[in-house]
Amino acid sequence: MAWGVSRGICWVLRMKSMRHAVSLGVDSMDSCYPTKLGGCGTLMTRKEGLIRIKRGKQKRCFGVKVDDECGCSTCRNYDRAYLCHLFKANEPLGIFMATLHNIHYMNDLMKTLRQNIMEDRI
């Protein structure tokens, strides 16, 4: 790949696609994936993959963070049961908090990918 040439991609939808694109030399991308998922009540996690916060089992998850390894304000301040309640009550705050978490997750993923590039792992 020639130095000084930017390689971009739009509409990346999955985390796996992002990792693969970076390994092929893509250095900028645009994705609506975290926002789209947040809008329908799906949150990205490091250990569990995608969780659907509107499912019945989430309403009993008092004190359980969305993602233990996440430092976003949603994970620091609220549990799964509260987020489930917000979605069940059609509160717009639920969409906002889920989207905020997902964007934070994607930023962390990109930070990890950049670090891997700098350490020649990719």
Give tens-digit pLDDT for 38-76: 999 999 999 999 999 999 899 999 999 999 999 999 999
Give tens-digit pLDDT for 14-45: 677 777 777 777 777 777 889 999 999 999 99
Confidence of residue 2 (pLDDT cuts 50, 70, 90): low
Amino acid found at 88: K
Q: Which of 100, 106, 110 is nearest to 28 (CA)?
A: 110
With b for 16 or more beta-carbon neighbours within 10 A and e for fewer, the 56-72 pattern comes to: eebbebeeebbbeebeb
Amino acid found at 53: I
- What percentage of the chain exceeds 90 in pLDDT? 58
Residue 38 burial (CB count, 10 A): 23
- Confidence (pTM): 0.85
Sign of CA dihedral 79, 47, 35, 100: positive
The residue written with tokens 């509107």 in the block is 54
Confidence of residue 13 (pLDDT cuts 50, 70, 90): low
What 3-state class would DSSP assign to 49?
Answer: strand
Q: What is the pLDDT of residue 84?
A: 97
Q: What is the pLDDT of residue 49?
A: 92
Q: What is the pLDDT of residue 3?
A: 58
Residue 5 φ/ψ, nearest 5 degrees? -105, 125
Q: What is the pLDDT of residue 5?
A: 64
